[in-house]
Amino acid sequence: MATSNRLVANQGRSFIGSYVLGKGFILSPQQAEDLIQRDPRNKDVLFAYLNGEDLNSRPDCSASRWVINFHDWSEERARSYPEVFAIVERDVKPERLKNNNRQRREIWWRFTRPAVDLYRAISNLDRVLVVALVSRTVMPARVSSQQVLSHKIGVFALEGADHLAFLSSSIHSSWAWRNSSTMKADLNYSPSDVYETLPWPESVIELTAAGQALETTRCLIMENRRIGLTKLYNLVHDATIAASDITSLRGLHEEIDRMVADAYGWGELDLNYGFHSTRQGVRYAIDPVVQIEILDRLLELNHGQHDLEAANGVFHRKNRNNPKGWNEISAGSPEIPTPVDDVLF
């Protein structure tokens, strides 16, 4: 299979959440509320903690737990919140001191990967788009940016309804299945291999109203049925389900996919929506033959855009000093920011 290339145009917009490493950081909502009631300053270091399971299983995609977060602070600054620091010192430090990684032992009061670049990128956004990294659903949701997002969540520094619609399209999910590994029957979504390689159409602003309708409809169905994204889309892909709310949601996805195809200039394609057999089982989706055509076109666009970026002197390159293989943008393109790598603590 021909490989796709990471695109400079998509750099710095997709991330993986924080890797906490330490159950002692985790609190119940009641524990967090009690700490804040005793000292309102504790709100500086206590946050809702959203993981992939909550995102896909709770009707409002909300966090069920909270987390202590001392950011990238020094031990001295963290100790200025004595009651909270005492919890981490008691419940996290003993386990961290057993860790083979020296930095994890020495900087035990902080997350092992604080994802500084992520929170910097979303600092001016009220909401962000997120997706569970291990999932068969591959459906994004808009959630509050004022929380800690777990390493089981992919985060996009985007908040518009137009972006929600595009990332909810079959075009995005088909590209994700093509460019990601799988874990049993689930997709193991890789932001660097999916989002960073996906050539976007020139504009998606026309998808705004459809994205708003999708979000409103989906939230209402999940609230009424008391189900999360996974169970909702199990119903969408079940050919025996003909309930009006589910058929309405199917119709919205058809509309979004047609609009995305039009945005790429592919209006002549007959998407031939229906219940089709796929590697993931029977799915309500675009005809698999048409999906192949779409993937071929996306790959051609990817190669063309990558070649153009290289011709203009900007391209991804590996940083030899970075063992994780994070990519940087080459020198010669000062107008495009280089992302800050996370330090593994």
CA 148 from centre of chain: 13
d(CA 3, CA 178): 10
Query: What confidence tens digit (pLDDT) does each residue in 163-188 have?
Result: 999 999 999 999 999 999 987 788 99
For the entire predicted model, the pTM comes to 0.88
Give the closest residue to 167 by CA, choosing from 157, 56, 276. 157
Domain boundaries defined on the chain: 1-13+161-334, 22-110
* Cross-strand partners of 283: 276
CA–CA distance, 30 with 319 (Å, rounded to integer): 44
pLDDT in tens, 132-168: 999 989 999 999 999 999 999 999 999 999 999 999 9
Tens of pLDDT, residues 220-275 = 999 999 999 999 999 999 999 999 999 999 999 999 999 999 999 999 999 999 99
